[in-house]
Amino acid sequence: MPFAGVDIGSTMTKAVIVDGYGIIVASVIGPTGAEHRHLALAVMDETIKKAKLRFEQLDFIVATGYGRINVPFADKQITEITCHARSIRTLFPTARILIDIGGQDSKGIKLDAEGKVMNFVMNDKCAAGTGRFLEVIAETLGIKLNEMGELSLKAKDYVRISNTCTVFAEHEVTTKLTEGATIPEIVAGLHEAFASRVVNMVRSLGIEKDVVVTGGGAMNVGLIKAVEEKVGFPVLVPPEPLLTGALGAAFMGMDLLARGVTSERERRLEGVTFFK
Amino acid sequence: MSDDQEYYAGVDIGSAFIKAVLINQKQIIAYGILSSRGSYNETAKRVLDQALSKGRLSLDKLSGIVVTGVGAESAPFQARQFSEISCQAAGCRFLFPSARIVIDIGGQFTRAIKLTAQGRVANFLMSEKCATGSGRFLQVIARILRIKIEDIGPLSLKSQKPVEFSTNCAVFAESETISRIAEGARTEDILAGVHRALAAKVAMLVKRLKMEHDVVLTGGGAEDAGLVLSVSEALGVEVLVPEQPRLTAALGAAMLAREQRPGTR
């Protein structure tokens, strides 16, 4: 009994197939492009192949993420807040706060003891505190986004970045460089500024143990360290932090089927391979 | 040239441009302006020299210098320091005695100043946290569109259908611009859209100060005819623009240098 979840995020599109026990059978992560529909199909197709399944064997497909309406083959669309919370409930039953740091937004979700969503906050208005902030400045510094975490751990101290705005911080960083600051110190400073912005946003929810961090930001060890310094205790990170939304979507499909909701859609293979 | 003449200089060390204005007891004599690249103090010296040589003067002929702007600390000459707000107000009340609101759209900041009927600073607000409220927003988008800053204004005036941005963040607007170009949006419509977004931020500042007539627009932003139009539309009044909108703070600084000398007026 396989279930699929597709998460079209602002930067990455993710697909997960789980079996009837909720174990991940296959997953695919690809960049989000302008053509959401094409992308959703391509990523789903690849995941099905990896799982050695046929499209019509999928019991339920749930789409989530900001591009979820562009998944025409999904049985249901569910918000990413619900899907994230759903997978975290299974992965970390003790979680009360979830911080998801995405490519172009970041959100904080408060969960009750049963893992239900009590409240959430979100920033998608300003690039500061989203992956975009680090992406822009990595380019200015001539380093790779995925190197920033390790790089920042080499710094003994961090350089304080006083600008919140990404555009202004970009300028501040080049000034700091000319003043003799090292790249690791600057990157550590960027993580500090980033963590402070995200944690301050989540503070309005009331920070409680345990805190889970997901999204692309959770793959940055330096950022995780900075978040831990801000919240004052260690945080939890899932092994596949990019997949929590898609995984939650697949779990939601499982839950729906368990409640007797079945897919009414006729699975048509050509729908998937149409663009290939 | 008679020796009983007294000369004063105002130097504005801004984040994008350094400006100097020379005045005597009666009028403006000369000015200098250079982009702030490299070291502030070297450029400031060159700008002042530029103005002095245009006015056929030398540093020792000056009775007083006032320096202002983000780089005022690094002025390479003996000078008194005044805030940009005081200088901007002084320059604008000289040029436009009817001014009650002065909006200065600079390279990095936007400032809105409220003046009393006597031309004193009653209150002011700054937008310094977010690039969308400043000239930087235009620079970011102009770079993507491969448009020269000075071409933005004339081009944007051709717009028939300004693009409406879904975001208020310059960084997100940058990627939105790229998708809009891909969708076939016209350059002038994108620029006009940026002007509207910027003007909306400016109007918010003015609203917080409480709007009054007349409104003067200064800074590099005032050289952009499209932005002047958008700000006028956002505020619902025709804004006044000085002939040399970048120089008003330096002019005000020179005025303040003159005021500092008792008995010279």
| Cα(B254)–Cα(A255) distance, integer angstroms | 74
What helix, strand, coil percent values describe chain A, rounded to 5?
A: 45, 20, 35
**Closest among B159, B151, B132, B140 to B223, alpha carbons compared:** B151
Per residue in A95-144, pLDDT tens?
Answer: 999 999 999 999 999 999 999 999 999 998 899 999 999 999 999 999 99
Q: Would you identify the CATH topology of the domain B97-241?
A: Nucleotidyltransferase; domain 5 (3.30.420)
Confidence of residue B3 (pLDDT cuts 50, 70, 90): low
Model's pTM, two decimal places?
0.81
Residue of A38 and B62 predicted with greater confidence: B62
- In this predicted structure, the answer to whether residue B1 has a pLDDT above a threshold of 60 is no
A175 alpha carbon, distance to own chain's centre: 32
Confidence of residue B53 (pLDDT cuts 50, 70, 90): very high
**What average pLDDT does the structure give for chain B?**
91
Of chain A, the percentage scoring pLDDT greater than 90 comes to: 75
Q: Which long-range contacts (CB under 8 A, 24 or more apart) does A174-183 make?
A: A174/A140, A177/A141, A182/A155, A183/A141, A183/A143, A183/A151
Which residue on chain A is closest to B129 by alpha carbon? A165
| Cα(B151)–Cα(B149) distance, integer angstroms | 5
Of the CATH numbers 3.40.50.9100, 3.30.70.3270, 3.30.420.40, 3.40.50.720, which one belongs to the domain with range B7-84+247-259? 3.30.420.40
DSSP structure class, residue A124? -
| Cα(B136)–Cα(A168) distance, integer angstroms | 9
Which residue on chain A is closest to B167 by alpha carbon? A125
DSSP structure class, residue B240? B
Measure in Å the smallest separation between the Cα of A96 and chain B Cα atoms.
Answer: 31
| Cα(B73)–Cα(B147) distance, integer angstroms | 34
Quote ipTM for the complex.
0.79
Both tokens of A174, joined, read: 């080049």
Q: Does B74 touch chain A (CB under 8 A)?
A: no
Confidence of residue B263 (pLDDT cuts 50, 70, 90): very low
A154 forms beta bridges with none
- In this predicted structure, the answer to whether residue B124 has a pLDDT above a threshold of 80 is yes
Domains along chain A?
A: 3-82+243-273 (3.30.420.40), 94-231 (3.30.420.40)
Which residue on chain B is closest to A175 by alpha carbon? B38
Which residue on chain A is closest to B176 by alpha carbon? A34
Chain B residues touching residue A136 (CB < 8 angstroms): 171
Query: CA Rg, chain B, in Å?
Result: 19
Mean pLDDT within B15-19: 89
Mean pLDDT within B88-117: 94
Residue B34, pLDDT score: 93
Residues of A near B (CB-CB distance < 8 A)?
Answer: 34, 104, 125-127, 132-133, 136, 163-168
**Sequence-ordered strand ranges (E) for chain B:** 7-13, 17-23, 28-35, 62-68, 80-81, 101-105, 110-115, 121-127, 215-218
Per residue in B210-242, pLDDT tens?
Answer: 999 899 999 999 999 999 999 999 999 999 999
The verdict on a CB contact (< 8 Å) between B130 and A34 is no
| Cα(A41)–Cα(A276) distance, integer angstroms | 9
**Strand-pair category, B121-127 with B110-115:** antiparallel
Q: Does B149 touch chain A (CB under 8 A)?
A: no
**What average pLDDT does the structure give for chain A?**
91
- In this predicted structure, the answer to whether residue A274 has a pLDDT above a threshold of 50 is no
**Nearest by CB to A167, which of B131, B168, B182?**
B131
For tokens 């009666």, the residue is B26
Residue from A11, A126, A194 whose CB has the most chain B CBs within 10 Å, to mutate:
A126
**Nearest by CB to A127, which of B129, B172, B182?**
B172
Both tokens of B154, joined, read: 């004339």
Q: Where in chain B is the domain with CATH 3.30.420.40?
A: 7-84+247-259, 97-241
Residue A255, pLDDT score: 94
Per residue in A222-236, pLDDT tens?
Answer: 999 999 999 999 999
| Cα(B95)–Cα(B30) distance, integer angstroms | 16
For tokens 């004339």, the residue is B154
Q: Does B167 touch chain A (CB under 8 A)?
A: yes
